[in-house]
């Protein structure tokens, strides 16, 4: 850490003194994890993100694997059963042969009856056969019930289904609030799949008059340059095929008003992006201050397979003060927070504010998008 950390001054910490402080504790270490805990306490003195010591991976077989059916249930106490409240699009239950709809009841899993209040998750643990036999009915009783076989999915696949549902709900909301004039896209992570998705959706929304670029809950990566290179383009020509709509050049650009949404979980490269977006004069930033975890990092291995994550690159704003973005947090132009009661009620005040601001910028009847500057 002493010879790899991006700041030779170690964030103002006397690193040799820190070593002297923690070294006596090593004599009382009982196992590797206790040693790593001490190392992490010492690293914590730096007050830096993207750091830490971790043990070697234990492998996939070390934990319990719980499958998911790709549906949401709620307990219907009056009926004494779990009732289906949502079937995830493109999930394992979204198949013609499964024949499950919202309002149906869960009767049994793998032949074991399930009642309201039962912990049915344990019936989906560590399946040797990847398919589970699930019994449903359109009423709480067993008469008329049908059995189907569902290939359960892993928790990360279920999380992705929930994410896609979240994005579709917000896209629909933006359409409703703007009368179809404003497009919405979300950047899930700062990685290559998200970049390809961004490029695809920018082309899909080229006929929208304005755009909400949402990157809340984005943990970072390294594509902010590519994103900003797309958005900073200016229209230089309009192509008008006979009998169809005009299109601007460059084809992969977007030339209308834009807003970026961020929150306290926008971190690392997802902080560099809104900072660059504003510095380049591309539009306003709406939401809450970002995490303040902006640093370039890498890992190296120890002899026992443990790893130490050490930041080697600092990131600074191109302002007169050369502001260090680590522990800084990008401040929004419009401070809006979604409170717990908003989340419980299904409200998204940050999104509503972004759409409202863009509608103010549009002002007036729908324009020909290809003529926008």
The CATH number given to whatever domain includes residue 367 is 3.90.226.10
Whole-Å CA distances, 53 to 65, 140, 220, 245, 309: 26, 52, 20, 56, 6
Q: Is residue 325 one of the residues assigned to a domain?
A: yes
Same domain, yes or no, for 313 and 352? yes
Q: Is residue 55 one of the residues assigned to a domain?
A: no
> Cα(312)–Cα(300) distance, rounded to whole angstroms?
12
> Cα(54)–Cα(331) distance, rounded to whole angstroms?
32
**Per-position b or e across 136-156, b if 16+ CB within 10 A of its CB:** bbeebeeeebeebebebbeee
Same domain, yes or no, for 140 and 289? no
Q: What is the pLDDT along the chain (373 residues), one digit of tens a residue?
A: 999 999 999 999 999 999 999 999 999 999 999 999 999 999 999 999 999 999 998 765 556 678 999 999 999 999 999 999 999 999 999 999 899 999 999 999 999 999 999 999 999 986 666 789 999 999 999 999 999 999 999 999 999 999 999 999 999 999 999 999 999 999 999 999 999 999 999 999 989 999 999 999 999 999 999 999 999 999 999 999 999 888 888 988 999 999 999 999 999 999 999 999 999 999 999 999 999 999 999 999 989 999 999 999 999 999 999 999 999 999 999 999 999 999 999 999 999 999 999 999 998 555 555 544 4
Q: Is residue 337 one of the residues assigned to a domain?
A: yes
Q: Is residue 54 one of the residues assigned to a domain?
A: no
Is the Cβ–Cβ distance between 299 and 310 less than 8 Å? yes
Same domain, yes or no, for 365 and 273? yes
Same domain, yes or no, for 88 and 115? yes
Which of residues 106, 136, 153 is at a domain's end?
A: 153
Q: Is residue 317 one of the residues assigned to a domain?
A: yes
Report the candidate in 173, 170, 207 with the shortest Cα–Cα distance to residue 187. 170
- Number of domains within the chain: 3
Is the Cβ–Cβ distance between 308 and 302 less than 8 Å? yes
> Cα(100)–Cα(64) distance, rounded to whole angstroms?
27
Per-residue model confidence (pLDDT) at position 127: 63
How would you classify the pairing of strands 258-262 and 52-54?
Answer: unpaired
Q: Is residue 4 one of the residues assigned to a domain?
A: no
Tell me which residue range forms the domain holding 16: 10-47
Same domain, yes or no, for 274 and 229? yes
Same domain, yes or no, for 140 and 265? no
Look up tokens 């994890």; give the residue.
Answer: 33
Per-residue model confidence (pLDDT) at position 241: 92
Q: What is the pTM of this model?
A: 0.90
Q: Is residue 53 one of the residues assigned to a domain?
A: no
Distance of CA 243 to the CA centre of its chain: 41
Same domain, yes or no, for 136 and 164? no
Q: Is residue 60 one of the residues assigned to a domain?
A: no
């Amino acid at each position: 850490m002493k010879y790899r950390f991006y700041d030779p001054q170690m964030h103002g910490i006397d690193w040799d003194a820190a070593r002297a402080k923690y070294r006596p504790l090593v004599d009382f270490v009982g196992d590797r994890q206790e040693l790593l805990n001490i190392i992490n306490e010492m690293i914590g003195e730096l007050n830096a993100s993207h750091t830490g010591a971790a043990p070697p991976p234990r492998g996939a077989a070390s934990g319990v694997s719980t499958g998911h059916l790709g549906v949401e249930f709620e307990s219907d106490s009056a009926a004494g059963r779990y009732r289906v409240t949502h079937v995830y699009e493109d999930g394992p239950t979204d198949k013609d042969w499964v024949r499950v709809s919202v309002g149906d009841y869960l009767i049994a899993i793998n032949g074991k009856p399930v009642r309201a209040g039962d912990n049915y998750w344990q019936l989906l643990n560590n399946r040797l056969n990847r398919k589970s036999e699930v019994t449903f009915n359109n009423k709480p009783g067993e008469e008329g019930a049908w059995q189907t076989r569902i290939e359960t999915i892993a928790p990360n696949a279920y999380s992705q289904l929930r994410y896609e549902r979240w994005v579709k709900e917000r896209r629909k909301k933006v359409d409703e609030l703007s009368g179809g004039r404003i497009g919405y896209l979300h950047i899930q992570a700062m990685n290559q799949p998200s970049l390809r998705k961004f490029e695809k959706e920018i082309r899909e929304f080229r006929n929208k008059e304005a755009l909400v670029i949402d990157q809340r809950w984005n943990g970072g990566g390294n594509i902010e340059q590519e994103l900003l290179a797309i958005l900073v383009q200016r229209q230089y020509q309009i192509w008008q095929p006979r009998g169809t709509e005009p299109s601007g050049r460059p084809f992969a650009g977007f030339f209308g008003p834009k807003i970026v949404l961020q929150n306290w979980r926008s971190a690392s490269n997802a902080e560099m992006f809104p900072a660059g977006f504003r510095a380049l004069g591309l539009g306003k930033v709406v939401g809450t201050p970002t995490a303040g975890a902006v640093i370039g990092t890498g890992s190296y291995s120890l002899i026992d397979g443990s790893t130490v994550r050490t930041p080697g690159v600092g990131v600074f704003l191109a302002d007169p003060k050369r502001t260090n973005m680590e522990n800084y947090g990008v401040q929004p132009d419009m401070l809006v927070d979604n409170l717990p009661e908003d989340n419980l009620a299904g409200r998204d005040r940050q999104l509503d504010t972004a759409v409202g601001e863009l509608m103010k910028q549009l002002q007036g009847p729908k324009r020909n998008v290809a003529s926008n500057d």
